[in-house]
């Protein structure tokens, strides 16, 4: 055998060895036990979490070798506590809550945002002639707490502050009925603050009420209402798992945006008692919040985190700024 033929044979043999090793590695990875992951949701099952449901049902998590369990939330459930205790590896919370937790020494990290824009609105009846924050002066506005201490009330006060509306010119009253526009049609108040554009206004219109919305985001009150977060330790020690989890979940939300009817069906399988019309209209209302068109689904903007922190500082909910670079990251979001 000539030197040239020997060289060719060796090169061919080497290529076979490399290919065999690669195939063996792929097989080992494919056959490896799936990583178990639990997610503590922020509320009861609904189309808000359709991306998670789609990722499960369409096999996106399985494709990433993940065995994902979704834990329903509720008013008594704090996702931050669930992640801190280890009951869940991921949770859903708000950007302001995460900043407050970080200021208190808890090292959570936001790794994506379900809604790319703040869904909070002030809801009024269309014939009220209240179309902007300045129109609220001299009116009665529904709020969540008598001392205006909840995160929703703080955001409303920030809205008044940003639009130079004297809070003393507004009469506050507690919201007791959160169904649609009941508090408005009964005459209990002129406007409802802190309504989710994907909830109360949707129900109000299904009930036949004509309502107008003042979006907080349109006046510079930018807060992420539902970010997916985990621990700083997990992002540092198992970044590959976080990447797989977020990649599959965002693929699920992309599917939900492109297939809203199927997203609603998947949500109803989680709770058959859910109202079909409400879930269908909620899905339509949240599509532009999920897919803003200006950035990849799930990505977060530094200016929103900066605005959120400034609101917390203005209302003394934190005593000093934190390093925002430590509280969120877009590195797990596909470009």
pLDDT level of residue 30 (50, 70, 90 thresholds): low
**Tens-place pLDDT, residues 226-266:** 999 999 999 999 999 999 999 999 999 999 999 999 999 99
Same structural domain, 319 and 255: yes
CA nearest neighbour of 235 among 303, 333, 308: 333
Q: What is the mean pLDDT of the chain?
A: 92
| Residues 89, 232 contacting (CB under 8 angstroms) | no
- Same domain for 93 and 237? yes
Q: Could you say which of 167, 201, 219 is where a domain stops?
A: 219
Identify the CATH number of the domain in which residue 174 sits.
3.40.190.10
- 257-304 pLDDT, tens per residue? 999 999 999 999 999 999 999 999 999 999 999 999 989 999 999 999
Given 179, 200, 219, the domain boundary residue is 219
| Residue at a domain's end among 204, 219, 234 | 219
CB within 8 Å of 286: residues ≥ 6 apart = 47, 48, 115, 119, 197, 198
**Residue 21, pLDDT above cutoff 70:** no
Per-residue pLDDT tens for 159-206? 999 999 999 999 999 999 999 999 999 999 999 999 999 999 999 999
Could you tell me if 147 and 274 lie in one domain?
A: no
- Residue 262: what pLDDT? 98
Cβ neighbours of residue 11 closer than 8 Å, sequence gap 6 or more? none
Q: Are 234 and 315 contained in the same domain?
A: yes
Q: Which residue has the tokens 């205790």?
A: 85
Helix intervals (H) in 238-296: 239-258, 260-270, 276-290
- The DSSP result for 279-290, as a single string, is HHHHHHHHHHHH
Residues 67 and 109 in one domain: yes
Q: Which whole number is the average pLDDT over 309-332?
A: 97
Q: pTM for this structure?
A: 0.89
What residue spans of 104-231 are helical by DSSP H? 151-162, 182-185, 200-206
Does 231 lie in the same domain as 99?
yes
3-state secondary structure of 125: strand
Domain range for residue 207?
Answer: 120-219
pLDDT for residue 145 is more than 90? yes
Is 16's pLDDT higher than 70?
no
Task: Examine residue 39 and state whether it is found in any structural domain, yes or no.
Answer: yes
Give how many domains the chain has, as a whole number.
2
């Amino acid at each position: 055998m000539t030197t040239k033929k020997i060289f060719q044979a060796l090169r061919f043999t080497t290529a076979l060895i490399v290919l065999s090793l690669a195939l063996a590695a792929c097989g080992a990875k494919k056959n490896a036990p799936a990583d178990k992951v639990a997610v503590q949701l922020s509320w009861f099952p609904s189309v808000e979490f359709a991306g998670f449901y789609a990722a499960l049902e369409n096999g996106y998590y399985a494709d990433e070798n993940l065995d994902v369990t979704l834990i329903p939330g509720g008013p008594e459930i704090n996702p931050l506590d669930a992640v801190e205790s280890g009951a869940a590896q991921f949770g859903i919370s708000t950007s302001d809550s995460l900043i407050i937790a970080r200021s208190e020494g808890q090292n959570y990290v936001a790794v994506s945002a379900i809604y790319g824009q703040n869904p909070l609105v002030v809801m009024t009846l269309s014939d009220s002639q209240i179309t902007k924050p300045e129109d609220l002066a001299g009116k009665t506005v529904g709020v969540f707490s008598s001392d205006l201490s909840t995160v929703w009330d703080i955001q409303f006060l920030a809205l008044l502050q940003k639009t130079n509306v004297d809070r003393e010119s507004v009469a506050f009253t507690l919201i007791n009925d959160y169904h649609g526009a009941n508090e408005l049609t009964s005459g209990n108040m002129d406007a409802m603050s802190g309504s989710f554009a994907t909830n109360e206004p949707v129900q109000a219109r299904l009930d036949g009420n004509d309502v107008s919305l003042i979006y907080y985001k349109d006046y510079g009150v930018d807060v992420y209402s539902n970010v997916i977060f985990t621990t700083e330790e997990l992002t540092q020690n198992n970044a590959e798992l976080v990447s797989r989890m977020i990649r599959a979940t965002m693929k699920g939300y992309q599917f939900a945006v492109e297939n809203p009817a199927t997203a609603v069906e998947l949500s109803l399988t989680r709770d058959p008692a859910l109202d079909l019309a409400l879930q269908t209209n909620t899905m339509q209302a949240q599509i532009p919040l999920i897919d803003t068109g200006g950035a990849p689904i799930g990505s977060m903007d530094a200016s929103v985190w900066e605005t959120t922190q400034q609101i917390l500082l203005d209302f003394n909910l934190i005593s000093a700024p934190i390093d925002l670079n430590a509280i969120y990251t877009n590195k797990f979001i596909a470009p």
